[in-house]
Amino acid sequence: MSIRAKLAWTFILLLIFGITAISSYSIVFIRNYLLSEGERQIINDTRWLAIAIQNLRSDEDFETNLNEIAYASGYRLAIYDEMGILYAEVPFHETARATQQLDSVLRDNFIRDGAMIVEDQADVDLLIAYALLQPLHNEAAYLKVTIHKERIYEPIKTIRWIIYTGMFISIGLVLLVSITFSRSITLPILQLEKAAREISDGNTTQSLNLERSDEIGTLAKSLNRMADRLRSDNIELKRLYQKQNQFFADITHEIRNPLHTIAGALEMLKMNTLDDAQREKYILTAERQTQRINRLFKDLVTLQRYDSDDQFIQVQSFDVLKIINIIVETLEPEAVEKGLSLITAGESCHVTADPDKIEQVLENLVTNAIKFTAEGSITINVHQEGGNAVVEVKDTGIGISGEHLDRLFDRFYRTDKARSRDKGGTGLGLSVVKSILEAHNSQIYVESEPGVGSRFWFSLPVAQ
């Protein structure tokens, strides 16, 4: 059974039960009230009937006068003499004769109490009152006044109809109200249920528009928030999925290229006709490509750790100039080989960062500068600016045109793929730089002019 039907039935049953109970109670209450009023009335009436009958003369008009009194009062009257024998009975009905002899116990009670007795037994349809007479002109000694309870209950017939009509009208209204009310309560619940079903089916584009300030309104808002969250999570998941696919495609491509070159070199080396110089050349090619794959895996491991390891960087205080000097020492032979001068500028400056990772950043930037500079110099500079140490790597190389600058730090992005691969690049160097600096809450900046040179810089907090 639906919630709407359950609610409607609950209201209907409760209200029908309530209305019926109130109506029945009202009828019983009114019946009891009428009966007690009837008893009071019969006592009063019996008193004046007794006075009237006491004064009747026992002549030929006695019966007629008695009849008139009975008619006027609306009661049945029975009169008994001193011995308790029925003396007169009006109005006379063959089918409803009064007892011929008054009960002696009853008569004794009259004599003892001199009172009026009202008989009202639940199983008897009659209400009876007795009175002791002190007759002046006749032999009447006891008066018995009788009335049918039905006559007392007569007004209730009309009242009962009023109550029943009211009851049916109320039940009709209750049906109408409960159906409308349950519909208004369950409608938003049905809307919520539909929205939840759509969300579970993956449709998170719709939002519920319930302008309510009650619990249902709160639930609708939570559901909307849930759908929004799911929607953005879905978009993010799709984006990550595409990124991951692209990443795997790039890796495959990056490994396949050097492997091909190595396979080619090995093939050539199998030939007996090669002289020593040619043999040396192919061995060197294979070695370079092996180093490239090695670098690729090293960069991948760094990026993977950046993505997943909370402990990716271990900060400490160190002199950034010392790291610059190490890099210069390591890469100077490479620069000199190309006829480039490697210049260090700036003063000693202690920063709070991970020294190994900053060394990797500088190594990547300086290696790139050497790779993409044909003549001139590469300057590595550090200077203090406010609370930060600004480190920059500047070259006089080929430069980078503006359209590449936005995507320069993306994984596997190169301005010139063929040239980068020729130079043994993995396409991951700058994204490693970016990731390491982001882990330090820092950023890498670049400015460059094609044919003039490039400048990469970043800042690190000076140690306290």
Per CB under 6 A, residues contacting ligand ADP are: 364, 368-369, 372, 395, 397-398, 400, 408, 413-416, 420, 425-431, 454
| Cα dihedral 169, 172, 178, 179 sign | negative
Taking alpha carbons only, the member of 138, 126, 87, 130 closest to residue 108 is: 130
Number of neighbours of residue 302 by Cβ within 10 angstroms:
20
- The residue among 46 and 373 lying less far from ligand ADP, judged by its C-beta, is 373
- Scanning the structure block, which residue is given the tokens 């140490």? 389
Give Cα separations from 303 to 315, 353, 430 (angstroms): 18, 18, 11
Closest approach of Cβ 248 to ligand ADP, in Å?
Answer: 18
Cα 413 from Cα 415, distance rounded (Å): 7
**Can you spell out the DSSP letters for 99-165?**
PSB--HHHHHHHHHH---EEEE-TT-SEEEEEEE---SSS---EEEEEEEHHHHSHHHHHHHHHHHH
- The residue among 144 and 414 lying less far from ligand ADP, judged by its C-beta, is 414
Closest approach of Cβ 384 to ligand ADP, in Å?
Answer: 24
Closest approach of Cβ 415 to ligand ADP, in Å?
Answer: 3
Closest approach of Cβ 306 to ligand ADP, in Å?
Answer: 14
- The residue among 138 and 435 lying less far from ligand ADP, judged by its C-beta, is 435
Closest approach of Cβ 388 to ligand ADP, in Å?
Answer: 23
- The residue among 4 and 305 lying less far from ligand ADP, judged by its C-beta, is 305
Closest approach of Cβ 369 to ligand ADP, in Å?
Answer: 5
Closest approach of Cβ 366 to ligand ADP, in Å?
Answer: 9
Closest approach of Cβ 459 to ligand ADP, in Å?
Answer: 19
Q: Are strands 377-385 and 444-449 parallel, antiparallel or unpaired?
A: unpaired
CB-based contact 449:372 (threshold 8 Å): no
- The residue among 28 and 336 lying less far from ligand ADP, judged by its C-beta, is 336
Cα 129 from Cα 293, distance rounded (Å): 125
- The residue among 350 and 423 lying less far from ligand ADP, judged by its C-beta, is 423
Cα 167 from Cα 156, distance rounded (Å): 15
Closest approach of Cβ 251 to ligand ADP, in Å?
Answer: 14
CB-based contact 43:129 (threshold 8 Å): yes
- The residue among 40 and 407 lying less far from ligand ADP, judged by its C-beta, is 407
Closest approach of Cβ 300 to ligand ADP, in Å?
Answer: 12
CB-based contact 143:50 (threshold 8 Å): yes
- The residue among 76 and 414 lying less far from ligand ADP, judged by its C-beta, is 414
Closest approach of Cβ 436 to ligand ADP, in Å?
Answer: 13
- The residue among 21 and 249 lying less far from ligand ADP, judged by its C-beta, is 249
CB-based contact 183:190 (threshold 8 Å): no
Length of the chain: 464
- The residue among 55 and 443 lying less far from ligand ADP, judged by its C-beta, is 443
Q: Report the SS3 class of residue 318.
A: strand
- The residue among 46 and 448 lying less far from ligand ADP, judged by its C-beta, is 448
- The helix, strand and coil proportions of the chain, stated in percent and rounded to the nearest 5, come to 60, 15, 25
Give Cα separations from 84 to 63, 110, 382 (angstroms): 18, 11, 140
- Letter string b/e over residues 112-134, b meaning 16 or more CB atoms within 10 A of that residue's CB: eeeebbbeeeeeeeebbbbbbbe
